[in-house]
Amino acid sequence: MKYIITSIVLAVTLFGFELGWSDDYEAALVKAKQEHKPVYILITSETCGWCRKFEKTTLQKPEVKQRLQKEFITLHLSRDLNFVPKVFQTSPVPRHYFVDENGKILYSSLGYRQKDVFNSFMDNAKEKLQKNKEK
């Protein structure tokens, strides 16, 4: 049991370090305002196999990492460990939200997604953000 907990903590720590993931919603919004970027929110749970698969596959693709680092503020919330604002559904997981710098949801989706579909999520969020700015 101790080995499993240590492995989970290590995986979450390494996962978080690579993309500069925050686990604080309010801090992510502040950073989004400073950098004029939308926020990508990934909501997971500690026991979710699909969450781990998404983290180990899609989020490890160099082109996905680079795009997230360049175009978004990244926020990872574990529904088991972190405060998750009520506006975001947390079951089932993984949940994906893209919000503007004020926290307005631009795009959301549910479940494990491979690279191409996840890239289309990012495209949809950026397109919606652009349309909102043009209004």
Largest CA distance in the chain: 54
Q: The domain 2-134 is classified under which CATH number: 2.60.40.10, 3.40.30.10, 3.40.50.2300, 3.60.15.10?
A: 3.40.30.10
Mean local confidence (pLDDT), 29-53: 98
Indicate whether 106 pLDDT > 50: yes
Mean local confidence (pLDDT), 56-71: 97
Least confident of 7-21, 32-46, 62-76: 7-21
Mean local confidence (pLDDT), 75-97: 96
**Domains of the chain by residue range:** 2-134
CA dist., res. 125 & res. 108, Å (int): 9
Mean local confidence (pLDDT), 105-131: 96
Residues 6 or more apart whose CB falls under 8 angstroms from that of 128 comprise: 98, 106, 107
pLDDT of residue 134: 87
Indicate whether 13 pLDDT > 50: no
Output 114 or 11, whichever has higher pLDDT. Answer: 114
pLDDT of residue 9: 52
CA dist., res. 11 & res. 13, Å (int): 5
pTM, rounded to two decimals:
0.86
CA dist., res. 84 & res. 132, Å (int): 25
